[in-house]
Amino acid sequence: MKKISLMQNLGFDEKTEKVYRALLALADAPAFQIAKVAGIKRTSAYHILDNLITMGLVSTYINRGVKRYFAENPQKIKSFFEQKMILAERLIPELAKEINKSKNDLKIRIFEGKEALKTISEEALEAKEKTILSIGSSKRLVEFLGGKYGYGKRRREKNIFAKSIRIEGDEPSTNPKLHQVKFLPKDAVFPGYIIIFDNNVGIILFDGTGFGFIVKSDSFSKITKLFFDALWLVGK
């Protein structure tokens, strides 16, 4: 499996990364030379360089009638995403109003794919009751979703209390004030993960590329909480 670079994890495609790194190595060069070092077509290089200029990562000047490019300090990458974060913080409240309008009538939402499944736990961090119940292996969930992504830390920062029923082999709680944990017997099989918050029940199944859903229902959440309480009594 091909390893994804840090720049690609930030949203840069492979060609853009090659052009930017080539320009960093050259320091200052015309487009044809950048394209040659990057190993891509000159026409593609022009388009990519224009995008990098828009992002503030590349600048240009004319020397003897030839347009030359030079890379800005890589620190500008951080500045670019900081600006995006500011815009996102302004946009989120506006979009949330639209989402809340549709959620009022929405009872079940389905999620497919590991990235989409992270939405379930992210929504739990907005729990009005400041309590999250969960059943299943946190270790397997983290592995299935591709590694840790700061969920626990953000939950603690929001002062949300968690009560978890785990599978043998999972780690115990490191912060009992905000997280109580009990473990099911060794022979227990639980091929998924349930997360309960407010009147929502999220279910993640460890099948294929991932499948899950959130049910928003007072009755279903009460039933699931009763199921949780029953398991809590037999947990250790």
Alpha carbons 190 and 206: distance in angstroms, whole number: 10
Question: 195 falls in which pLDDT band (50, 70, 90)?
Answer: very high
pLDDT band at 4 (very low <50, low <70, confident <90, very high): low
Torsion angles phi and psi, residue 67, rounded to 5:
-80, 125
The pLDDT tens digits of the residues spanning 65-93 come to 889 998 888 887 777 777 778 877 777 77
Do β-strands 179-183 and 161-166 pair in parallel, antiparallel, or remain unpaired?
Answer: parallel
154 or 3, which is more confident: 154
CA distance 125 to 46: 43
What is the pLDDT averaged over residues 218-235? 85
pLDDT band at 3 (very low <50, low <70, confident <90, very high): low
Query: Which domains does the chain show, CATH number per domain?
Result: 6-72 (1.10.10.10), 107-234 (3.30.870.10)
pLDDT digits (tens, 9 = 90+) for 98-131: 665 555 555 888 888 877 888 888 888 888 888 8
Distance separating alpha carbons of residues 220 and 42, to the nearest angstrom: 59
